Amino acid sequence: MRIHMIVVSLVLAISTTLSIAPVQAATEGQCQSLQSQDFSNIIDASTHVMSSRVVAAANDVPDYCQVKGYVSSSVEFEMRLPLKNWNGKFIKRGCGGFCGSVFIAACDNHVKDGYACVASDMGHTSTALDAKWAYNDIQAEIDFGYRATHVVTVAGKAITESFYDNAPSRSYFMGCSTGGRQGLVEAQRFPYDFDGIVAGAPVIDETGAGMELLWTIVANRDEDGKQVLPSSKVQMIHDAVIAKCDMNDGIEDGLIGDARDCDFEPSELQCRGRDRDNCLTAAQVETVNKMYQGPVNSDGMALYTGGVQRGSELNWIGNYISEDGGPSVYENFMADMFRYLNFMPDPGPSWQPTDFDFDYDYKRLGLMEAIYTGSNPDLRKFKANGGKMLTYQGWRDQSVVPLNIIDYYETVTKTMGGQEATEDFYRLFMIPGMNHCSGGAGAYAIDYLAYMEDWVEKGEAPDVLIGVHPNVRVDSAGTDLPLVEEQVDFSRPAFPYPAKVAYSGKGDANHAANFVRVDP
């Protein structure tokens, strides 16, 4: 589809950051010397550099100094420091899931832009879905909860200053999912670390988010352990949701603007008689209702801020509902979380998802949530220090249900003195049709960091974000935008919550300029 060049030009203009005069180019000798320097006396972050070497330019990434090391006792990190044209700025990247490895690939686009970039493993070695590292290991859990992000930030700034003989003029954080939680934790617990924080789809309440996923999984198993709702019926449910609610943003485009405005009820698909492929049994209706509702106890008291949203159904396949009837991805993921991470003491490998007691066990989660939580709405210190924060989430997110970030933002608004006082330093954007962190049917590709730079460095608050739906692979954080016209299917604006977006009724619906802001 043809998109007017003005959209691409607009994205390009937004992606142009404040010009900072680059420092003199660093040398290979300066890079190698980092390995022999003593960083053990960094306050609160005793650090050892294990290796430092120059990596030659490749795949459009310029020459950089690669630094590998750890902060005592076991928080490993990697840095990439451009040899030429350092922009004077520092960025820390977050990780995902249970982390467990250094998510360093995210630094490539930042190095292209001249950033000194660092990432860490959050204090342990694992896969992103494996939590055995946390088995009754309180130090590892503290590192994962809040310490690792802070100490690696402190160490990274010190190494940056040593390498360039200049301290960073600006410091940023970017992350999504667990990385989003890292960003919130930084603003709440370490409000002086960053000038700007971009936190996507944050796991604000680690144990609560896990309980919500656990509820969704258990809701789809009968007493014999068989799946109630098969994957073969999910497309039918999704089609019915879209048919009922597609027009809530003023245009029929397969996207639901705000899932809370969708009044689809699963009972509308209930079979009149025997079970068939094009309808739901009574048990399946009950399961889908439970998934939309989110966890409750036997008295009906809500234990979390809702469940999966209408419109997210296609993302249930594989994540909650396996195609072969066996364990889904999140069934194994949540089993590990509750075996090794969410309780004190940890129940261990024999624990099963069906062991969770929704009338009692939710009361036990506070012990470990005190370590992980990113839910403190008191951001006065972060704001007073000049910090800016942008959070975003997709309405089709299947991993971290969207209502939790809305609840958090509204609580922050009340705590900080109202909408105007909050928008002065913190804004939330809800993206129609976006999956977890990226992807989906909506205009999910947005260069969030460019907007944050303009806010921090130019005082230009983001009144609107322009997103595109690409037909090529893009970085989940949007740092490889803008795209050329031929790489874009359509564009859409996103406005700061609580504002919504709607089609104006005139002009090309593939063009962001033909959509308007709708205030509540």
Judged against a pLDDT cut of 60, whether residue 16 lies above it is answered with: no
As separate numbers, helices (DSSP H) first and strands (DSSP E) second, the chain gives 15, 13
Q: How confident is the model at residue 477 (pLDDT cuts 50, 70, 90)?
A: confident
Q: Is 5 exposed, middle or buried (0-12, 13-18, 19+ CB in 10 A)?
A: exposed
- Per-residue model confidence as pLDDT tens digits over 232-286: 999 999 999 999 999 999 999 999 999 999 999 999 999 998 999 999 999 999 9
- H or E element: which one contains 288? helix 282-293
Judged against a pLDDT cut of 70, whether residue 341 lies above it is answered with: yes
β-bridge partners, 221: 227
Residue 481: its pLDDT value, please? 86
Residue 438: its pLDDT value, please? 95
Torsion on CA atoms 372, 378, 381, 385, rounded to nearest 10: 90
Residue 480: its pLDDT value, please? 83
Count Cβ neighbours within 10 Å for each residue of 492-509 and write b for 16 or more, e otherwise: bbbbbbbbbbebeeeeeb
Q: Can you tell me whether residue 140 is helix, strand or coil? A: helix
Q: What tokens appear for 390 in the block?
A: 């942008």
Residue 1: its pLDDT value, please? 39
Averaged confidence pLDDT in the chain: 94
Judged against a pLDDT cut of 70, whether residue 339 lies above it is answered with: yes
Is residue 107 within 8 Å of 133, Cβ to Cβ? no
Is residue 167 within 8 Å of 359, Cβ to Cβ? no
Is residue 197 within 8 Å of 191, Cβ to Cβ? no
- Per-residue model confidence as pLDDT tens digits over 291-324: 999 999 999 999 999 999 999 999 999 999 999 9
**Beta strands 89-93; 515-518: pairing state:** unpaired
Judged against a pLDDT cut of 70, whether residue 137 lies above it is answered with: yes
Residue whose entry in the numeric block shows the structure tokens 């002009």: 507
Q: What tokens appear for 63 in the block?
A: 């020459």
Cα distance between residue 472 and residue 243, in whole Å: 28
Judged against a pLDDT cut of 80, whether residue 24 lies above it is answered with: no
Instruction: Give the residue from 342, 368, 374, 46 showing the smallest Cα distance to 189.
Output: 374
β-bridge partners, 174: 93, 198
Judged against a pLDDT cut of 90, whether residue 505 lies above it is answered with: yes
Q: How confident is the model at residue 15 (pLDDT cuts 50, 70, 90)?
A: very low
Residue 476: its pLDDT value, please? 78
Residue 23: its pLDDT value, please? 57
- H or E element: which one contains 28? helix 28-33
Q: How confident is the model at residue 26 (pLDDT cuts 50, 70, 90)?
A: confident
Mean pLDDT of 439-465: 97
Q: List all residues 6 or more positions away from 367 whose beta carbon is below 8 Å from its beta carbon.
A: 343, 344
- Per-residue model confidence as pLDDT tens digits over 49-78: 999 999 999 999 999 999 999 999 999 999
Cα distance between residue 58 and residue 68, in whole Å: 19
Mean pLDDT of 382-386: 98
Mean pLDDT of 185-210: 98
Q: Is 101 exposed, middle or buried (0-12, 13-18, 19+ CB in 10 A)?
A: middle
Is residue 256 within 8 Å of 357, Cβ to Cβ? no
β-bridge partners, 445: 468
Mean pLDDT of 333-344: 97
**Percent of the chain predicted with pLDDT > 70:** 95
Mean pLDDT of 380-390: 98
Cα distance between residue 470 and residue 463, in whole Å: 23
